[in-house]
Structure formats: structure tokens, C-alpha cells
Copies of this chain bind each other. A is one copy, B any other.
Amino acid sequence: MAKDDVPEVVRNKRVILRDYVTGFPKESDMHISFSTMILKIPENHKGVVLVKNLYLSCDPYMRLRMRNDQDPEFTPFTPGSPITRFRVAQVLDSTHLGFKEGDFVWGTTRWEEEDSFIARPERLFKIRHTDFPLSYYARILGMPGMTACAGFYEVRSPKRGEYVFVSAASGAVGQLVGQLAKLEGCYVVGSAGSSEKVQLLKERFGFDDAFNYKDEHDLEATLKRYFPEGIDIYFENVGGKMLGAVLINMRVHGRVAVCGMISQYNLDQPQGTKNLMCLDYRRIRMEGFVVFDFCHLYSEFLHKMLPLIRDERITYMEDIAEGLVNAPAALIGIFSGNNIGKKIVRVAPE
């Protein structure tokens, strides 16, 4: 706050979506705009907070909101306005009883440096454990961590000795699912898109095995090789051909947690998936889930994850881009698999 209670006026950078996107998104689908903002909530504006963003999360799901889809489950971004997604932020001003200046929070935000008044701050998660780097709340202790846990435990109920396959396994969610599966005593194989990532999966994240799907021409045969006994649990992040190849390699009573299908997001016409007949005679259960449905379990999730992180039984890899001006490139990069681990953007120092 400036001297004499004269509110500070700042120049605020924002990432604006130019127009709805078809096909593969490009950096030029977004541009940086500037606005000016007063860093003080007007006195008559009750129950809101004003935050300064620290970290932004780059998620494949954002691609779905870049298209003009009539699906009621997606609110498309508004062309000409900032795009939105999870972030870690610090409260600059608050007229809400639950938050005070200086608090750290995570939740959904616009992609800008400062975030103007957040009208329903009760939707934010307050960060109470600050003995971890704050960026953890954009990744392992935030949405990707919750997604991995919700999908793996709530949806798929793993059992010791089961065979687990994770696609996009070095990504934000996949690397955690694999480690959680190992902690449960499962046999875990992951797929990724480069030999560097494959090495990481095996050496750093403790996967039993891993392969580069780009080197494989017959995914059905590949999976048969890695899972001669078949797959019990598939954590689905990619969709399309991979899903078809997995289904024909599933065991009876196999389970598929559908977390995302990144291979389909940039296609105007989605690919068809084969081998769905296996669902029937192999009694396979395939279930989609969305992390928002599990928010009420956040404290349980923390209770589980915090000791695992403190004891270094779980590790995590992030890939940080610096500055909001680099946010569009960072986001686009995840669709080419440029990132290794969770891609986040550091907007401001902690």
C-alpha cells in the first residue's frame, strides 16, 4: 500500500485469448495486454479479496475451453478476455472475514499478474502448510495432486500386486499416479514421448518399466510385451489409439480411470477408439472423473500427501517458465510434450 492510504496503481499484464481456436493452438492465439489496476478494494465492496498471482498452472484441459463448444460442461474462455486456470496467489487486500492481507491461497484465477476482486473467495483454498515451496500448490499439493489421488484411489481402488499402466506418465498427474501405485504395491508401467522422459520414469519416479510410445508402431503388441498377464488398472490421460490398444490388453474386471484424452484435444474430428467390445466380455469398468467433484476431500488428501512428501516417499518434477509474458508459449508447449513434469509459470517471486 502506498503512503497516506493512497491506493497504489499498477500496470497489470494479462494473457488474452484472441479468438476461438481450431486445430493445434499457437502462441499467437493469445496476446499480452496491459491494464491499470488500483491495489485496494473499495470500502463498499464487501466479501471479496484482491490477489497477486505467484504461479500459474498450465493444464491440457484449458485447450477444451479455447473452442466454441456448446457443451454445458465447458464454459469457453471469452475471446478478448484473460484465460483462466489454477494458480497460487497472495492476498493483497480483503473485505472477506475468512482472508486477510498476506494469506496465501490457491484456486482458479485469470491469467494476469494481479487478479482484480474475487467475488466468491470461499472457493479458494487457503494454504496453511507453508513449510513447502508455494509452487507445490500449483502441482503436487494442488489440482494435479488431487487429480492423481482422486482418480487412483476413489475411482479405481488399487490392490497390491495389480498391474497398472499410466499414459502421459511423466506429466503432471501421471508421475504421481505411478508413484502412488508403487506405494500400493502395484506393478507399474508408464508411457511417455521421449527417451529422456522414459529414463526419468524408471530412475526418478520408480516405475517398474516405461516406454516411448513414439518408438512403437503396434501399441497393442507393445502393451502385450510389457503386460504379458494383462492390465488391471489403466490411468487414461491420452485417449484415441492408445485407449484401444489398452482395452484389448485389459484383464477381466479391469478398471480404466479416464482423467483426460490429450491426444484428442486439438482434433476437429475426434478419432474413433477400437476394441470397446472388450468392455463387455472382460467386464471392464471405465469411468471419467473431474477433480472438482473431489474438492470436499482436500483436507483428507493433504493428510495423506504431506507425510509422503516430508518423508521423500513421493517426488515431483516441475518445469517452470518465468514471467507472464512467457505463459502462452508455456501453455502451447504442453501439447507438443515440451515440458517434463508439471508446467507452471512463475509470475512473481514469492
Contacts and interface: CB of A to CB of B under 8 A. Distances in A.
A275 interface: yes
Interface in A275-304: 275-290, 293
Interface string A64-108: 100000010110000000000000000000000000000000000
A219 interface: no
Interface of A: 64, 71, 73-74, 239, 243-244, 252, 258-261, 264, 270-290, 293
12 contacts: A73-B252, A74-B281, A244-B272, A258-B276, A258-B279, A261-B280, A264-B277, A270-B274, A273-B274, A283-B288, A283-B289, A285-B286
A258 B286 CA distance: 11
Given A271-B274, A286-B287, 5 more contacts: A73-B281, A273-B274, A279-B287, A283-B289, A283-B290
A288 B284 contact: yes
A290 B281 contact: yes
Given A252-B73, A276-B243, A276-B273, A64 B281 contact: yes
A280 to B, nearest CB: 4
A135 B244 CA distance: 40
Contacts of A273: 272-274, 276
A187 B284 CA distance: 27
A272 B275 CA distance: 8
Contacts of A259: 280
A286 B290 CA distance: 15
B286 A261 contact: no
A70 to B, nearest CB: 11
Contacts of A275: 270
Contact of A284 (B74, B279, B287): B287
B288 A280 contact: yes
Given A264-B277, A272-B274, A282 B73 contact: yes
Closest 4 interchain pairs by CB? Answer: A272-B272, A279-B288, A280-B288, A285-B287
Contacts of A290: 280-281, 283
Given A73-B252, A271-B272, A272-B272, A239 B277 contact: yes
A183 to B, nearest CB: 25
Contacts of A278: 288
Given A73-B252, A252-B73, A279 B286 contact: yes
A152 to B, nearest CB: 15
Interface centre among A260, A276, A283 (most CB of B within 10 A): A276
A71 B285 CA distance: 18
Nearest to A74: B281
Nearest to A230: B72
A23 to B, nearest CB: 16
Contacts of A277: 239, 261, 264, 270
Nearest to A237: B280
A155 to B, nearest CB: 9
Contacts of A279: 258, 286-288
Nearest to A255: B287
